[in-house]
C-alpha cells in the first residue's frame, strides 16, 4: 500500500471511536434513566458516524476492494489499535462517565488540532467531529461535576472510577511510528504537545467537582500496539458476530 502510514494513522483514530461507541451501545435500553440512556446512545451514534467517515477514507486509500464494513468487522484483535481506556467495561454509571470524560477532553483536543492537517479529508471529518465532540464533553463534564459534588455515595463512586481509569490516560499521548511520520508531514497531530493542556483541563474540572486529582505515576498501555486487555475479545465477539456467522450478510 502506497499510503500505509496514512492508513494506519486513520485507523488509530477511528478504532477509538468504534470501540467506545460499541461500549456505549451496550447501554441502549440499560441507562440509569431515560434521558441518560438516550444521551449515551446518541453519543455512540456520533462516534459510529465519525468512524464510518474514517473507515470509508481508509478503504479508499487501501484500494484493495475492502469496504468500510470489512475494516470495521473483519479484522483480528491484534489489528485494532484503540487505546485500552475505551475498551474498559461499563461497570457502573460512574465508570461510564469517568471513562467518557477522560476520553472526551482528549478527543476534543485532537479534533481541534486535526482541523489544521495538510490532509483535506481529515480536516473535513474533524470540522464535522469537533461540533459533536464538544457536546459529548459538555455532557460528561456536567455529569462528572454533578456526581462529584453530589451525595456521599455518588462522590465516592465517581472518585473510585477516576482513580481506576487514571493509569489509562497516559497511553492517549503515545505515538506509533506511523503517527510520528504523519505528524512530521503535517498530516497528523503531535499528541505529545497536547498532554500538558489535557491534564490541566482535567484537573480544573476535577477541582470544580470537588474531587481529588489522582497521584498515581503508574500507567497501563498496549492497545496502540494491538496488545489489548482481556475485555477486547468479548467486545469483538459481539461486534463481529453477524459477519462471522453469516459472511457478507447485509441488512
CB of 33 to another protein, least distance (A): 9
22 binds another protein (CB under 8 A): no
Which of 11, 18, 84, 125: binder of another protein (CB under 8 A)?
A: 125
CB of 10 to another protein, least distance (A): 14
If DSSP states are collapsed to H, E and C, what string results for 152-173? HHHHHHHHHHHHHHHHHCHHHH
CB of 51 to another protein, least distance (A): 8
50 binds another protein (CB under 8 A): yes
Interaxial angle between packed helices 120-148 and 93-114, expressed in degrees from 0 to 180 and rounded to the nearest 10: 150
C-alpha span between 118 and 31 (Å, rounded): 40
CB of 57 to another protein, least distance (A): 10
Alpha-helix runs per DSSP H in 33-119: 34-62, 68-73, 84-87, 93-114
Chain mean position to CA 242: 23
Cell triple for residue 104?
Answer: 472526551
- Are 153 and 147 in contact, with CB atoms under 8 Å apart? no
Secondary structure of residue 15 in the 3-state scheme: helix
Distances (CA, A) of 220 to 18, 72, 170: 20, 25, 8
- Contact code string over 53-92 relative to another protein, x by CB under 8 A: x---------------------------------------
120 binds another protein (CB under 8 A): yes
27 binds another protein (CB under 8 A): no
Which of 6, 10, 22, 46: binder of another protein (CB under 8 A)?
A: 46
What does the binding site for another protein look like in residue numbers (CB under 8 A)? 35-36, 38-39, 42-43, 45-50, 52-53, 120-121, 123-125, 127-129, 131-132, 135, 138-139, 142
Amino acid at each position: 500500500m502506497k499510503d500505509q502510514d496514512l492508513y494506519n494513522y486513520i485507523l488509530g483514530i477511528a478504532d477509538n471511536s468504534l470501540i467506545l461507541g460499541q461500549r456505549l451501545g451496550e447501554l441502549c435500553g440499560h441507562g440509569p434513566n431515560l434521558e441518560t440512556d438516550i444521551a449515551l446512545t446518541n453519543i455512540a451514534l456520533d462516534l459510529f458516524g465519525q468512524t464510518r467517515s474514517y473507515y470509508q477514507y481508509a478503504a479508499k486509500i487501501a484500494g484493495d476492494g475492502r469496504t468500510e464494513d470489512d475494516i470495521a468487522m473483519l479484522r483480528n484483535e491484534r489489528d485494532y489499535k484503540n487505546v485500552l481506556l475505551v475498551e474498559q467495561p461499563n461497570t457502573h454509571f460512574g465508570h461510564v462517565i469517568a471513562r467518557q470524560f477522560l476520553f472526551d477532553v482528549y478527543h476534543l483536543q485532537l479534533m481541534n488540532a486535526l482541523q489544521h492537517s495538510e490532509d483535506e479529508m481529515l480536516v473535513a471529518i474533524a470540522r464535522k467531529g469537533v461540533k459533536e465532540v464538544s457536546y459529548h464533553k459538555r455532557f460528561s463534564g456536567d455529569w462528572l461535576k454533578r456526581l462529584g459534588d453530589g451525595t456521599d455515595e455518588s462522590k465516592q463512586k465517581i472518585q473510585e472510577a477516576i482513580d481506576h481509569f487514571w493509569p489509562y490516560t497516559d497511553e492517549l499521548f503515545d505515538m506509533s511510528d506511523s503517527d510520528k511520520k504523519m505528524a512530521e508531514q503535517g498530516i497528523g497531530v503531535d499528541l505529545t504537545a497536547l498532554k500538558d493542556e489535557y491534564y490541566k483541563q482535567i484537573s480544573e474540572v476535577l477541582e470544580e467537582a470537588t474531587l481529588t486529582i489522582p497521584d498515581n505515576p503508574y500507567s497501563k498501555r498496549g492497545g496502540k500496539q494491538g496488545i489489548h486487555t482481556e475485555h477486547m475479545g468479548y467486545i469483538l465477539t459481539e461486534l463481529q458476530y453477524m459477519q462471522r456467522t453469516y459472511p457478507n450478510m447485509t441488512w
